[in-house]
Structure formats: C-alpha cells, structure tokens
C-alpha cells in the first residue's frame, strides 16, 4: 500500500505530531499542499489530509488543494485534525469531507484530538488544551493507523 499524507500544521505543530505517528504506522510520506504535484497522486493507494482547525474548518491551503484535485474513481482517503474543541470535530471536517467526496474520494476513516491553542486573547491566559496532543492522543493515533492498515 503506497500512502501519502498531505499536512498543514503551523500553530504549535500539534497536527504534525499526529501526522508523524500515522505516517510511521502506514509507512506514508508527508508533504505540504505546496509540495504536491497533482499527477503524482495517482501512484498512491490512500491519501490522508490533515491540519489544525482554524475558524471551524481545515487550513485553507488544504481546502484549496482539494478543489484542484483531479477527479478520481473511489480513491481511498482519510481526514484528520487537531483542535481546541473536539466535540465538533465531525462538523469541522465536513467541508473538506464534502470537497473530497465530490472528487470521487471515499473517506475510509477520520481522526481528531485536542491540540494546544493559544490563539488571540487565549494567549493572555496561557492558552487552552495545554500539553495536547499527549501520550494518550499519540496512542490513539497509532491505533487509528493500525486500523487504516488493516482496512486497506
Ligand atoms: C487562527 C486560529 C483559529 C482557530 N480556530 C479554531 C476553531 O475554530 N475551533 C477549534 O476548536 N480550535 C481552533 N483553533 C485551535 C487549533 O485548531 C489548535 O490549536 C490546533 O491544534 C492547531 O494545530 P497546529 O498546531 O497543527 O497548527 C484555532 C487556532 C488558530 C491559531
């Protein structure tokens, strides 16, 4: 199984920590949207799309890339993120999920966990979700990768 992860993680590299664990589990390369050559995507059996959540959705570079993707037939994909609020993860994922589905991707699974947030005024109080992702989150990411591997 040839796997690729397309990642944007800039606030505290929270999502990068998760991406690295998943990448290790499924033996995936990690690239940024800027490093993607659209034609090369055909060589991958599964593509993961992940970023922090910024204003209720994935990073705009990931969403813009999803719009440019060539049409696929049943290509496997997974979505992941880190965010301050984890209860709304399915909603946060919906825009990227819809864009990928429109391009013919089948979303095999999704992952979200908390990530340290010190954006804007939160900085004044030391931020929220300190020390996340933590070792439990990384363990869950490892289990997620194992499930992906078994299902593909
Ligand atoms: C500009 C900005 C907007 C954010 N908006 C949200 C949001 O709408 N919902 C949420 O739960 N977290 C939000 N967060 C928190 C981030 O999703 C969280 O810190 C995430 O782990 C950052 O990932 P990264 O370190 O990989 O960039 C926001 C953070 C920033 C910097």
Model pLDDT for residues 122-148, shown as the tens digit of each residue: 787 889 999 999 999 999 999 999 999
pLDDT number for residue 106: 97
E-strand stretches of the chain: 3-8, 28-31, 46-52, 75-83, 105-114
pLDDT number for residue 103: 96
Which residue positions in the chain have pLDDT lower than 50?
A: none
Q: Which tokens in the block code for residue 104? A: 């013919």
Our mutation pick for probing the ligand 1 site, out of 7, 11, 51, counting the most ligand atoms within 8 A of Cβ, is 11
Domains of the chain: 3-151 (3.40.50.360)
Which neighbouring-strand residues pair with 57? 54
pLDDT number for residue 2: 95
Query: Do residues 119 and 11 make contact, with C-beta atoms less than 8 angstroms apart?
Result: yes
pLDDT number for residue 124: 78
pLDDT number for residue 38: 94
In the reported structure, the alpha carbon of residue 10 is separated from the centroid of ligand 1 by a whole-number distance in angstroms of 9
Q: Is the pTM of this model over 0.95?
A: yes
Residues having CB within 6 Å of any atom of ligand 1: 9-16, 52-56, 82-85, 115-117, 119
Q: Which tokens in the block code for residue 66? A: 């999803």
Alpha-helical runs (H) found in 4-134 = 14-26, 60-68, 89-102
């Amino acid at each position: 199984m040839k796997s690729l992860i397309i990642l944007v993680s800039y606030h505290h590299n929270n999502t990068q920590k998760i991406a690295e664990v998943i990448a290790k589990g499924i033996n995936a390369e990690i690239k940024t949207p800027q490093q993607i050559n659209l034609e090369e995507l055909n060589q991958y059996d599964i593509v993961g799309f992940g970023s922090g959540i910024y204003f209720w959705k994935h990073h705009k570079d990931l969403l813009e890339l999803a719009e440019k993707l060539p049409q696929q037939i049943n290509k496997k994909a997974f979505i992941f993120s880190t965010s301050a609020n984890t209860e709304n993860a399915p909603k946060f994922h919906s825009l990227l999920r819809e864009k990928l589905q429109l391009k013919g991707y089948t979303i095999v699974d999704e992952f979200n966990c908390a990530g340290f947030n010190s954006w804007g005024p939160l900085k004044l109080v030391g931020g929220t979700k300190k020390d996340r992702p933590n070792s439990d989150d990384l363990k869950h990411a490892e289990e997620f990768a194992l499930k992906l591997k078994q299902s593909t």
